[in-house]
Structure 1
Amino acid sequence: MAPTPTAAAAPLDTTAVMANLQDVLAAYRKIIVLFADEKTLSPAERTVANQVGQGLFHENRQRVVDMEAHWDTWASSGNPQRFDAIAGVLDYVESGAGLFDADRLAFRELLRSLQASVAKDSSLPAIKLHKRMGEDLDAMAEIERNYEKEIRLVFGRFDTRAIDLKRERWEDYLASLKKLYSREKILKDYGVVLPYPAPKEVARKSKNEDEGEVFGNSLPPKTIVLTFDDGPHGVYTAEIAAILKQYGAPAIFFQVGSNLGVVGADGKAKLNAKTADVSRKLLDAGHTLANHSMTHAQLSKRSGDALKTEILGTDTLLTAVDARRSALFRFPYGARNEEGLDLLATAHLRSIMWNIDSLDWADPVPSSIADRVLQTVAKEGRGIVLFHDIHERTVKALPAVLDRLVAEGYQFAGWDGKGFVVSKGAAPAPTPVAVNPGYSDSWAIVIGIDDYAKWPKLQYAARDAQAIRETLIQKFGFPTEHIVSLTNKEATRTGILAAFHDRLAHSGMKKNDRLFVFFAGHGATRQLSSGRDLGYIIPVDSDPNQIATDAIPMTELQNIAESLTAKHALFVMDACYSGLGLTRGGGSGNFLRDNAKRMGRQMLTAGGADQLVADGGPNGHSVFTWTLLQGLAGKGDLNGDGLITATELAAYVAPAVAAVSRQTPAFGSLPGSEGGDFVFELPADGEFLSGQTTQLSGDAIALNSKLDATRPPAVPASGDKPAAAPATTTVVVKDLQGGEQKIVTPVAVPSSTRQLAQRANDRGLQLYKEKQYALAEAQFTEALKLRPDFALAANNLGFVYYKQDKFAEAARWFENTVKIDPSRAVAYLNLGDAHAKAGNADKAKKAFSTYLELAPSGPGATYAKQQVEKG
């Protein structure tokens, strides 16, 4: 019997049904791609594919249930438009654009349920539709027979009927699906990023122990390294040193920072005079001082600032004792985690373990301690012995151990700053240790002049100088009291020269410091009677007719540069002029080590003579300074090692500025430079993306796109290998005489997996702020491949999804974030927003409530309260 017609015959809303059909097809296709070539998947990949596939399958089952409810509603509505709505569904299933035969099998169960609903209606249109669906189902049965083998392999795990097609047609179908979806993308949408496979050999313990942690297994036969932990002790350390002197045996003393003193709130060391004297005497006797943490805590349970304090605080104290302290570190109890190992790499410290344990901390009998050591030595044949210089029993056991070892022909190795060196016999290959690129202190002079009295006024210079000053302080940690800022009327000729000759001269600048000089204002070039050009920077009080006496010639800056105490100085001049000869600087395979030894005096200028500085950059900056700021933000790290050298900065800035303006920036080393290169060390960016994160303006994004077009491309990630930046970059840059020079960036220093993950996250943040969401997503994904427990990258990947209105995917990644780091309040705020947008009001309310529990006075508290009250 036909349903009773309704009074209203308005068209039925088919939008939700058609959207559900599209979602059913997409999930069906994703399942196929997920399990394609399943035999090639590793067990871990197969496990996560099954988990995600089950999720996709059950989501589709819910869609089918929802649509069956629509069918029943339509069939019983009595609305004559129901036939048109059902016919529209059949039109799509039969001939929808882009559908393959195999795709139609995704709708088979739906078609059967729709046919059952229509069968309840005895009207002629319903009977015709019922017949049409029967023909469609017959056609699907034929498709099923063709695809039987392949579809069973994919869908058999879900306990449903199988479907299939011919092999060659199936492969064509699968190839088409792979153009639409990738297994990696499907997994990522469902909150899974598979990490890169671990290398066959553990990177931290290589066969020859020439990198990573050292256990002593690669020492030459019959070679022993003596180490003593937990001191210095006021009595026993000196007694042990006296015994070692008798045998001519060097040792490494791993010292606990709290025994040496404290680090004040100002970051300065306050030493215990007695124990510091003990340590200095050890150094004078030829022994090595090394780091054993601040409080001897179990560092595997520490993270963040607490972990940094344990490691870096003791390094500060040891450096205060004597700069000759080594770059060696030993974890208390040998307990370490990945964060601790990566922090060592960042601080350029080396983890030294042991393979011969005296157990002198537990065994009270000296003879027993000696027997244990000698038995283990006989078994191992070589190695690092762990003693403690805080026990009397160790003092008593040591002579017996040394007597036997000497009698049996063992030799003792010490540390020479590069590797283990034995006093006789063959020495092992030196173990390389990274050289810290850091400086003792940082200084800057920043000058910006807009308000010239007798020269054309500028619009950008003071703002440029302020932005540079803020970057030096906020990003690179320059102390505010070490920055001399001169703006407009302060930047007279006398004021500028006094900044160098008086303020810097009496500042206490040291030999291992760096100086950054920035000038934004007018520049000029004057031809001398010899025909040579001489460049000038123009102070605010200069008269155009009195350049020779009122302006500051480049020769004066040369003199200033040569008189500076600092190891490295970089002059960046946002002014155009010519007339200063620069010498060419070259790259080095051992850049950091060599750079630490060489004095560097370098200059980067905005352009040459007769060129005008382009002041049309974003946010009121000149094009040159805007590009400089982008370089310092991270884009100048051309080799991806976390360091921006002056050479790299010039290699990024010069061609980029030349490409978007009529300026040709110049770069080189000032006369008297010894080839050193000024270095900025990029700090890790810890920003969790949220609704409060600012993005660049449209004009800034447009200019950055043009600037980035000049950058050498990174090597993209491929399969199971992480992405890599070019090892070196060669760029042709002008010198200040108008000639061309090739500058080569230094080779990248080795990086830990944790550092690589952080840099990928940092690049993702830059790309997000430029609204390059696809590229940002790729970088956050790279970070998670390198470090699966990276909560920061997980949150940021989720927010990129959120920004693209993919709310369900975003919620999965915010949920991953709070699993990794349950205390991260902002992730709960993001999770609440994602659930709210996805229509999950209860989950949203719970997430907002958790945010309020963690951050009741946080920046999002008012907003979260409003959302909870709405829910």
Structure 2
Amino acid sequence: MTKKVLLALAVALALAAAGYWVQRPAPAAPGAPAAPAPVAAEPDLRPRLQELVAAQRQIIVLLADEAQLNPAARTAARTVGQALFHDKLARSQALEAELAALAQREQGRGYPNLGRLLDFIESEPALFDADRLAFRELLQGLQQALSRSGTLDAVKLHKRLGEDLEALAAIEQNYEKEYGQIFSRFQSRAIEQKRERWDDYLAALRKLYSREQVLKDQGVVLGYSPEKLAQLDKAAAEPPQPGLPPKTLLLTFDDGPHPRYTEEIKAILRQYGVPAVFFAVGRNLGSVAADGKAQLGAQAAVARRLKDEGFTLANHSYSHAQLSKASGAALKGEILNADALLKALDPQRAPLFRFPYGAHSGEGLAILQEAQLQSVMWQIDSLDWADPVPSSIADRVLRQIDQAGRGIVLFHDIHERTVKALPQILDRLVAEGYQFAGWDGQGFSTKTRSAAAPERITTGYRHSWAVVIGIDEYKDWPRLQHAGADADAMRQLLQQRFGFAPERTIVLKNQEATRQGILSAFHERLAHGGLQKDDRVLVFFAGHGATRKLSSGRELGYIVPVDAAHTPERLATDAISMSELQNIAESLPAKHLLFVMDSCYSGLGLTRGSAGSGFLRQNALRLGRQMLTAGGADQLVADGGPGGHSVFTWTLLQALGGKGDLNGDGLITGTELAAYVAPAVAGVSQQTPAFGSLPGSQGGEFVFELAAENEFLSPESNQLAPEAIALNTKLDAAQAEAPGPAAAPKVADLSGQARPLAPSPTVPLAARQLAQRANDRGLQLYREQRYAEAEAAFTEALKLRPEFALAANNLGYVYLRQNKPREAVRWFENTLKLDPSRAIAYLNLGEAWQALGDATAARKAFQTYLELAPQGAGAERARAGLKAG
């Protein structure tokens, strides 16, 4: 905090102590009219804050040293702690609404009361640092409310709130260690922080509360043994939970949907390709009238997006009441009203139910059986509803998973702390080979596709099919050099990067690619192989193309099979015309179909469709039949691409590797693909690629979804060969000279007429997704040895997501490649603070210390790497580093 801000805060506190919080009117001048009656004083909201702190403290006292409690006491503490939390949550939401109303009062009349509230939070002597974490989400909501006003007073309050939230973030970081750790002095912000020991804090709380009294105040008295409790209520025995194989987890999220955090959690799960079950509270979805009719509310849209993207929605009661204490119509209503709202969202809703707090009864289980609902409990409790520290949550979950080896994990999608903890947990679990189960309609299975799998992308594809054809060894036509390699590269890219399953990828090379073989692939293997209306089909052809002039004067294009005769009069019988391909496109039931032809020909006019607002939603409803070709009639396909590819296919591969994502949303549409490939290829060859929609298309776009890059850069990371880098530089320059998507670049259709391409609308992304895209871009630039640009991209990723260990490592490695080892050391050390188990960062750190001449530090880093990854890819380099030291 600057001296200026400290001085201002000191003056403000002094004025507060002197009683100057209320503005005092100046004395009236003689003969002046009487002053208006004073406005009624605003209610003092500070006691409401104290209630939040009290609830937070009681939860801490309940759960401190829980490992030392017997099972009954532990269960009671968790159950009551959850009840206290939901009471605290309701109070916080009500207070947040009142604060938002104050922030919107005319002429800023609510601001003085908001100032008093912040004074309490910042400087109340009775508050400990840890107490103030109870106010974080409340302050975030207030900051959002103030952002709607542009007045100077609102801006000042907004700035003050920002400083308070930064102070709370600092407090949170300093409480990341387990209980009992001594904390160092914090950097002061708007809240003056004090040095504390957790044990001292806990001891102070225990003077205020006892676990037993808290339980008793909440209606729980301990004493009966587990055996006695089982005898008293045998009917409450929980049904068997779904069995899961070893190293298999089912992730579940309770209490949502939340308007902010559910979306962020969904994005994280999609990034890792992990399914999950979201147990929704009914009243968050809407209301149910007396006649039983469900009325969905605003937050139902969040749940609908979860369902649409492949996640499972389930029942968590209507109001989150403790159902073990309910009976009769009230109990039945809690279960069935929430079920009615879920059915309004999805008539085929998953028949899963979770009792709030896990508190069930024989009567409740009987109602579930009658409603054909299945109770789902959990074995691994994150305690994210009680623990405000993300790293502590992650550590707790991972320890329990290490012990159990499998199970159902309980989270809540209503906390920012869960959003922060989830990537830490998933990074470790994925690295250790855990698999994740989802609901498949009948039970829990790892065979269910996650919402992030490429076959369930944003546009709603069910399956992805490909027909890949490459012909070098023609009988009568000149032999080609690149077509086979092009086909192999395209098959590999589709399967490895975009999730096209091998069993749904039809590959025809050389002697297999006869006219009959190609037509059979469409008419038999696709049409009768299970292709459905929500699938997509990509057709890639690398080989000869030809154009024949008809008696009408119109030109007709052909692709040439391996067994076609090299005579014009035999084209009609031996080759496959564009008209036949158009008929095939219209006959296939797939939603979207894209032909990519690395051949040159003309003879089929293509239509154009323009994309409007709501692109992704509309695109899922429209058929799409598109074609991209390498060039026009009488043009030769240019060889000379790196790796034995044609220039067109090399450019196509680069586009699908990420360069074709022109608007940075992680999706590459057919239009974006053409907008990159066509001007780039035309700029470095004598070809003019063509693109458009086949007649009969309804304007739908074939869409590729880019998978998130997860490579930690290291000495083992691959980079492009010099000739590939040189061609990519030319391609990017040629593409950059053409107008961007917003300016509608002109690309020829198959008749040779230049037409503007409709731009692909930008899809809004959360900060976490933008950070991933920036990191992905940095990896592309690194592979092309464009280190300064890569550095900027990784920096942007860290600005968007400061805890992004992957980007931190990659930034460090780019520094190292730029001969800046000192900076590299700092970033590798930052990486290890964020992810201490990341072995590759120790190898990188060792090389950076070696470059600085510090043999001792380098040896320590190399040794740590070998302890973590003795058989890792960098083990030989680490051993060589030890010998050199």
Interval of TM-score (by shorter of Structure 1 and Structure 2): 0.5 to 0.7
Give the CA deviation at 1:650. 0.6
Match of 2:751 in 1: 737
Alignment partners' CA distance in 2, 1:547 and 1:571: 20
**Separation in structure 1 between the aligned mates of residue 489 and residue 677 of structure 2, nearest angstrom:** 17
Structure 1 residue 867: Cα displacement:
2.1
Q: Which residue of 1 aligns with 2:341?
A: 251
**How far, CA to CA, are the matches of 1:242 and 1:816 in structure 2?**
53
Q: Which AA in structure 1 matches 2:692?
A: G
2:757 aligns to what SS in structure 1? strand
1:865 to 1:330, Cα distance in 2 relative to 1, 3 A: closer
Q: Is contact 1:642-1:759 (8 Å) kept? A: yes
Instruction: Map residues 819-834 of structure 1 onto 2, 5 A cutoff.
Output: 819-834=833-848
1:629 aligns with 2:677: no
Distance 1:40 1:645 in 2: 52
Cα 1:730/1:293, change in 2 over 3 Å: farther
Structure 1 CA distance for aligned equivalents of residues 827 and 606 of structure 2? 52
User: In the superposition, relative to structure 1, how do residues 769 and 275 fare at CA in structure 2: closer, same or farther (>3 Å)?
Assistant: farther
Q: Tell me the distance in 1 between the aligned counterparts of 2:737 and 2:412.
A: 40
2:850 counterpart residue number: 836
The equivalent residue for 2:462 is: 440
1:523 aligns with 2:534: no
Match of 1:792 in 2: 806
In 1, distance between residues paired with 2:591 and 2:694? Answer: 13
1:860 corresponding residue in structure 2: 874
Give the corresponding residue for 2:260. Answer: 212
Matched residues, number: 542
Which amino acid is 1:482 matched to?
Answer: R
> Amino acid of the residue matched to residue 544 of structure 1?
H
How many Å separate the matches in 2 of 1:492 and 1:781? 52
What is residue 566 of structure 1 aligned with on the other side?
590
Secondary structure of residue in 1 paired with 2:498: coil
Name the residue aligned to 1:532. 554
Deviations 1:221-258 (A, max 9, x none): x9996998547999999977964899999534899x99
Cα 1:246–1:41 shift into 2, 3 Å: closer
The structure having more radius of gyration, on CA atoms, is: 1
Offset from partner CA, 1:822-843 (integer Å, 9 cap, x none): 1111110010011011100000
Can you list the C-alpha shifts for 1:35-67, whole angstroms capped at 9, x where unaligned?
Answer: 9xx999999xxxxxxxxxxxxxxxxxxxxxxxx
Instruction: Summarize deviations over 1:462-487 as a string: whole Å, max 9, x none.
Output: 10110011110111111111100011
Deviations 1:723-766 (A, max 9, x none): xx988451111011111111122211110101111111111111
Q: In 2, Cα distance between the equivalents of 1:237 and 1:526?
A: 81
Would you say 1:337 and 2:418 are equivalent positions? yes
Q: Gaps (5+ residues) in structure 2?
A: 8-138, 150-256, 263-280, 290-294, 301-313, 354-365, 385-389, 402-407, 425-455
Aligned equivalent of 2:511, options 489, 502, 517: 489
Cα shift at 1:438: 3.9
- Counterpart of 1:744 in 2: which secondary structure? coil
Q: Report the CA distance between 1:576 and its aligned residue.
A: 0.3
Give the match for residue 864 of structure 2: 850
Aligned-residue RMSD, C-alpha:
4.7
Look up the equivalent residue of 1:514 and give its one-letter code.
R
1:455 maps to which residue? 477
Change (3 A) 1:498 1:812: same
Letter in 1 for 2:492: E
Whether the 8 Å contact between 1:203 and 1:212 is mirrored in structure 2 is no
C-alpha displacement of 1:506? 2.1
Q: Is the 8 A contact 2:317 2:334 kept in 1?
A: no
C-alpha displacement at 1:293, in angstroms? 10
Report matched runs for 1:343-358 at 5 Å: none
* 1:556 Cα deviation after fit: 0.8
Structure 1: how far apart are the matches of 2:681 and 2:870? Answer: 47
1:681 alignment partner AA: E
Name the structure 2 match of 1:612: 636
* Amino acid across the alignment from 2:834: I
Q: Distance in 2 between matches of 1:42 and 1:463?
A: 67
Distance 1:41 1:569 in 2: 61
* In structure 1, distance between residues paired with 2:696 and 2:558: 20
Q: What is the rounded CA distance, in whole Å, between the counterparts of 2:376 and 2:736 in structure 1? A: 40
Partner of 2:528: helix, strand, or coil? Answer: coil
Task: Tell me which amino acid in the other structure corresponds to 2:571.
Answer: I
Question: Which residue identity is paired with 1:742?
Answer: P
Give the distance between the partners of 2:315 and 2:765, measured in 1 at CA.
29
Separation in structure 2 between the aligned mates of residue 247 and residue 633 of structure 1, nearest angstrom: 48
- The amino acid that maps onto 2:482 is Y
Contact preservation (8 Å) 1:298, 1:333: no
SS at match of 1:573: strand
Q: Tell me the equivalent position of 2:698.
A: 674
**Residue of structure 2 in register with 1:473 after alignment:** 495
Provide the C-alpha distance between the structure 2 equivalents of 1:248 and 1:460, rounded to a whole number of angstroms.
Answer: 60
Partner of 2:530: 508
The yes-or-no answer on 1:653 pairing with 2:701 is no
Say which of 572, 590, 611 aligns to 1:587.
611
Amino acid at match of 1:634: G
Gaps of 5+ in 1: 1-34, 44-197, 262-273, 283-288, 311-316, 318-328, 344-433, 715-724
In the alignment, the residues of structure 1 paired with residue 556 and residue 286 of structure 2 have an alpha-carbon distance, to the nearest angstrom, of 60
8 Å Cα contact 1:513-1:567 kept in structure 2: yes
Kindly indicate whether the alpha-carbon contact (under 8 Å) linking 2:285 and 2:296 is maintained by their aligned counterparts in 1.
no
Alignment of 1:10-89 (within 5 A): none
Decide whether the 8 Å contact of 2:352 with 2:375 is kept in 1.
Answer: no
Please name the residue that 2:713 is paired with: 689
Aligned twin of 1:765: 779
Deviation at 1:526, TM superposition (A): 0.2
Offset at residue 795 of structure 1 (A): 0.8
The code of the aligned residue for 1:212 comes to: R
Measured in 2, the distance between the counterparts of 1:663 and 1:757 equals 37
Tell me the distance in 2 between the aligned counterparts of 1:730 and 1:566. 28
Return closer, same or farther for 1:846/1:494 CA change in 2, 3 Å cut-off. Answer: same
Quote the Cα distance in structure 2 between the aligned partners of 1:245 and 1:867: 63
User: In the TM superposition, what is the alpha-carbon distance from 1:585 to its structure 2 partner?
Assistant: 1.7
Show the 5 A alignment for 1:60-139. Answer: none
Task: Report what 1:778 is aligned to.
Answer: 792
User: Which whole-Å CA distance do the structure 2 matches of 1:567 and 1:41 have between them?
Assistant: 60
Query: What is the rounded CA distance, in whole Å, between the counterparts of 1:664 and 1:293 in structure 2?
Result: 60
Cα distance in 2, alignment partners of residues 490 and 297 from structure 1: 55
For 2:6 and 2:513, how far apart are their aligned partners in 1?
A: 66
C-alpha contact 2:515 2:561 (8 A) present in aligned 1? yes
Partner of 1:525, secondary structure, is: strand
